[in-house]
Amino acid sequence: MGTVFDFKLCQPEDGLSPFVQGLWSASLNSSNKNSMSRWLQGDACSSVLFNLHSNIIINDVVYTDNVILLPVNKEARLLTLPSGCQLAGIHFQPGISYGIFEQQPATPIVINESTIKQYKLASAFLSIAKILAKISNHTKRVKTLKRWVIAEIDFSKVITKQLLQSMSVINIAQQVPTKINDAPLSQRQIERQFQKRMGMTPKQYLRVLRVKRTLAALKQHPENNLVSLALDNGFSDQAHMTRECKQIAKITPRQYSKLI
């Protein structure tokens, strides 16, 4: 916890973990007169962001509504927080949001009275946003949000067997590329599942995973040799790794290691 920017994160370790990567609450103290920017990681996940107090800016676009559906993160997004802001959010695992909303938006979508009929669970999301806005304690806010997610969202059919198989194939292909030829699904079937339910191609997903894995390795060992790091994570060379990280994470491995 900081005195200016407070952040509370819950990463479920129970039956919710296959569907929800994290539940969080954050605020920027009103005593801080300046806005603050944070990068939302490009990780092939999607989110629901609850804007509980004031306007926020995502990639230079101002959002005034309380509930914002963030589509699959193919690249990092810049979130700018004004002084006194109060936020909360649900960060879904890859492939989950399509089964919840029955749509795959390409850009952030606001939920309000004019769009409430277009999205499944929209009314419920607006209701929980009002409840969260009345809670100032981050721990209590996260616990309230977790109870609501368990009670209101039916995760039993949000992801298909075919998509799970497709994701498994791509995950294995990170380590053993030839294994994709042994998959129970054809390449065309895998591509259709990804485009429909994740809003990206398998190739894009693999690129995001590779960058995510690279930054995770640097976080654990900032002193890693970058040439070896590139080769260990499937890049052709260090320059290739730098280009991919810059595009997807908006930061180079060298900059990230210095930051860590």
Instruction: Write the burial class of residue 200 (CB in 10 Å: 0-12 exposed, 13-18 middle, 19+ buried).
Output: buried
DSSP letter for 41, please.
P
Residue 130 token pair: 């009002």
**Predicted pLDDT at 152:** 94
Residue 159: how many other CB atoms lie within 10 Å: 21
Of 174, 168, 170, give the one whose Cα is nearest residue 214: 174
Domain 5-152 has CATH 3.40.190.10: no
d(CA 208, CA 203): 9
Count each helix (H run) and each strand (E run) in the chain, helices first: 9, 10
Domain residue ranges of the chain, discontinuous segments joined by +: 5-152, 161-259
Q: In the CATH scheme, what is the homologous superfamily, with its name and number, of domain 161-259?
A: Homeodomain-like (1.10.10.60)
d(CA 43, CA 212): 6
Residue 36 token pair: 């603050």
Kindly report the pTM of this predicted structure.
Answer: 0.88
Q: Report the DSSP beta bridge partners of residue 9.
A: 24
d(CA 140, CA 142): 5
Q: Report the DSSP beta bridge partners of residue 37.
A: 80
Strands 36-40 and 77-81: antiparallel
Interior/surface letters 6-29, b for 16+ CB within 10 angstroms, e for the rest: eebebebeeebeebbbbbbbbbbe
pLDDT, tens digit, for every residue of 180-224?
455 556 778 888 888 888 888 989 999 999 999 999 999 999 999
Place of tokens 């559906």: 69
Q: Are 253 and 245 in contact (CB under 8 A)?
A: yes
Low-confidence ranges of the chain (pLDDT < 70): 1-3, 172-185
In three-state form (DSSP H/G/I as H, E/B as E, the rest C), the secondary structure along 141-160 is HHHHHHHHHHHHCCCCCCCC
